[in-house]
Structure 1
Amino acid sequence: MSGTMTAIDEIALDGTKDGKITVSTISEPYGKESGSVASIGISLQGRAEEPDWKVHIPKANIDAVIAALQEAKKSL
């Protein structure tokens, strides 16, 4: 992955001893002129720089993902 990563927040992962949820933005994540993304990483052992899982969400999809997460929260 190329581009510049900017950390936004780091959240303790509920149900784990050291787990973290990290939120950041990445400019040009897939090379020159690729669109910026929000990146969400899940680290079970607290290694925020090397997450076990991560997802990149393009800016155009963020609102829809937030709405879907809010609906998921209602059903939990």
Structure 2
Amino acid sequence: MSKTIALSGTKKGVISIAKLVEPYGKDSGTVASIGISLSGNVDAPEWKVHLPLENLDEVIEALKALK
């Protein structure tokens, strides 16, 4: 599963969201990957974060609270 969202306030920027299975090699945990590319290059974001799926619900709640 992956999704690309236009980055507000930029001309070409995107937010890319993907589920990565074993991103650090065999038996590493699945993560949600969130990348930001100001140039619109989904494959080479300037910033990215990997969130373990076990933390996802809590992170989503924290983001909702910011809104």
TM-score, normalised via structure 1 length: 0.85
Q: How many Å separate the matches in 1 of 2:56 and 2:65? A: 14
State the number of aligned residues. 67
Q: How far has the Cα of 1:8 moved from its partner?
A: 1.4
Q: How many Å separate the matches in 1 of 2:20 and 2:54? A: 14
Whether 1:66 aligns to 2:57 is: no
Correspondence for 2:18: 24
TM-score, normalised via structure 2 length: 0.96
Whether 1:56 aligns to 2:50 is: yes
Whether 1:39 aligns to 2:33 is: yes
Which ranges of 4 or more aligned residues in structure 1 deviate by more than 3 Å? none
The percentage of aligned residue pairs carrying the same residue is 55
Gaps spanning 5+ residues in structure 1: where?
Answer: 1-6
What is the aligned-residue RMSD (CA, Å)? 0.7
Gaps spanning 5+ residues in structure 2: where?
Answer: none
